[in-house]
Amino acid sequence: MKKQIKTLSLIALSIITFNSCSDDDDNNNIEIPVDTQSTRLYTSNNADGNITYYDVTNLSNVSATTLVTASVAADGIYYDASTDAAIQASRSGLALEGFTDISDVATGTTVTSDITGTADMVSPREVAVNGNFYVVADNADVDGDDTTADGRLYIYERSNGTFTLRNTITTDFKLWGITFNGNDLFAVVDTTNQLAVYTDFLSNTTDATVSATKTIAVEGIVRTHGLTYDVSSNTMVLTDIGSAGDATDGGFHVISDFLTKFNNTADGDTLALTSQVRVAGASTVLGNPVDVAYDAETETVFIAEAANGTILAFNNIGTGGDIAPVLNNGLASASAVYLSKD
Ligand SMILES: [Ca+2]
Ligand SMILES: [Ca+2]
Ligand SMILES: [Ca+2]
């Protein structure tokens, strides 16, 4: 059945391609609109470990599909379109787990991991992907001393149905969110308002302790946690959880023309709040926003809000402030979000 659908889609695609490539105006072919793009938001959570994805193509008509996994807590969701696979970092299994061919699975179905990794980790959080390399940020203490800041980045290589641990990088700061821009890995410095970058991160091929290439402070943030970088629009979005015990003091910052501003801020210096747009306040429902995704086309920010157990979306952000979310879709202990357009 699935093969048939895929074949039919291919035929439909061929017709569209043929029409769009044809310069002949002397036939009466019906115009087939190519604007059939759909947008999905993939999410993980620490309440039941299941994967839920939302069709957010139209924010006033959002549908949800939940895949039931054996994990009971998970973080760091990612979607790979080439294998129609959702991948998450299982916090109960302490390993990466992937599920292929998920789009035809009905909501509520129990799925079995068919891309599996070894259980190497202690407290996996965000996942960042570069080609076949899957990097997981682990925020457990590394050296047995909770008073010294450290963390570990696990670098896995995906091949067929396996994630193989290549090496680990120990950081000299606490980890949470990570995201790639090309070969550079951006990481938040947990418990602070700082943002670090490792240039050419994957060139670190052996187990080692490596300091960030550069670290800057982001004015206006109390404690950052989640981040996402959109290459097409050169936009960085960082979340602010404020105090972890306060479910009303969260926010997020949108930084346009990000690379210019980041490059113009010296190591150890501060990126001014006047160069950013901050969203926070009573209407936002932001308490502990732990992860973020960004749709540059619609200028929409999606948030995994852990303290209030919900998935939020914001658009028409303008100059920021106390904006009500356009989407507030309950998801207990939401831990991560990932946006995919096709
Ligand atoms: Ca330590
Ligand atoms: Ca908070
Ligand atoms: Ca994410």
What is the number of the ligand closest to the CA of 152?
1
The residue-averaged pLDDT of 79-93 equals: 98
Ligand number nearest CA of 42 is: 3
pLDDT 10s digits, 146-204: 999 999 999 999 998 999 999 999 999 999 999 999 999 999 999 999 999 999 999 99
193: CB partners within 8 A, 6+ apart: 217, 218, 219, 220, 221, 222, 223, 224, 240
Q: Which amino acid is at 81?
A: A
Going from the Cα of 151 to the center of ligand 1, the distance in angstroms, rounded, reads: 8
Q: What's residue 329's pLDDT?
A: 97
245 versus 26: the higher-pLDDT residue is 245
Is residue 251 within 8 Å of residue 203, measured between CB atoms? no
pLDDT digits (tens, 9 = 90+) for 34-83: 555 899 999 999 999 999 999 999 999 999 999 999 999 999 999 999 99
pLDDT at residue 227 is higher than 70: yes
Distance, CA of 306 to CA of 335 (rounded, Å): 6
Q: How far is the CA of 116 from the centre of ligand 3 (A)?
A: 20
Q: How far is the CA of 75 from the centre of ligand 3 (A)?
A: 9
Q: Is the pLDDT of residue 215 over 70?
A: yes
Q: Quote the ligand 1 centre to 241 CA distance (angstroms).
A: 22
DSSP 8-state class, residue 131: T
pLDDT band at 32 (very low <50, low <70, confident <90, very high): low
Position 308 scores a pLDDT of: 98
- Burial class of residue 123 (count of CB atoms within 10 Å of its CB; 0-12, 13-18, 19+): middle
For residue 174, the ligand closest to its alpha carbon is: 1
Ligand 3 centroid vs 109 CA: distance in angstroms?
24
pLDDT exceeds 50 at position 98: yes
Band of residue 4 on the pLDDT scale cut at 50, 70, 90: very low
Which ligand ends up closest to the CA of 87?
3
DSSP string for 155-196: EEEEETTEEEEEEEEEESS----EEEETTEEEEEETTTTEEE
pLDDT at 5 over 50: no
| CA of residue 69 to ligand 2 center, whole Å | 29
Q: What is the pLDDT of residues 114-158, one digit of tens each?
A: 999 999 999 999 999 999 999 999 999 999 999 999 999 999 999
CA pair distance 115, 117, nearest whole angstrom: 7
Domains of the chain and any CATH numbers: 38-341 (2.120.10.30)
Q: Which ligand is closest in space to the CA of residue 150?
A: 1
- Mean pLDDT (the chain) is 92
Percent of the chain whose predicted confidence (pLDDT) is above 90: 89
pLDDT band at 3, cuts 50/70/90? Answer: very low
Is residue 101 predicted with pLDDT exceeding 50? Answer: yes
CA of 291 to the centre of ligand 2 (A): 13
Separation of CA 173 and ligand 1 centre (Å)? 9
**What percent of the chain is predicted at pLDDT more than 70?**
89
Q: How far is the CA of 140 from the centre of ligand 1 (A)?
A: 8
244: CA distance to ligand 2 center in Å? 4
Calpha distance 51→68 (Å, rounded): 7
**Considering every ligand atom, which ligand is closest to the CA of 126?**
3
- Residues 139, 145, 146, CA angle at the centre, nearest 5°? 50
More confident residue, 47 or 24: 47
Give the pLDDT score at 109.
98
**Ligand lying nearest the CA atom of residue 137:** 3
Residue 19 has pLDDT above 80, yes or no: no
243 CA to middle of ligand 2, Å? 4
Please compute the mean of the pLDDT values over residues 255-278 and round it to a whole number: 98
Give the Å distance between the CA of 77 and the centre of ligand 3. 6
Ligand nearest to the CA of 228: 3
What pLDDT does 268 receive?
A: 98
Going from the Cα of 170 to the center of ligand 3, the distance in angstroms, rounded, reads 21
pLDDT at 33: 56
Q: Judging by DSSP bridges, how do beta strands 270-271 and 214-218 pair with one another?
A: parallel
Residues 304 and 289 sit within 8 Å (Cβ to Cβ): yes
Q: What is the pLDDT of residue 15?
A: 41
Q: What is the whole-number distance in angstroms between the Cα of residue 116 and the centre of ligand 2?
A: 34
Which ligand sits nearest to residue 244's alpha carbon? 2
Burial (CB count within 10 angstroms: exposed 0-12, middle 13-18, buried 19+), residue 153? buried
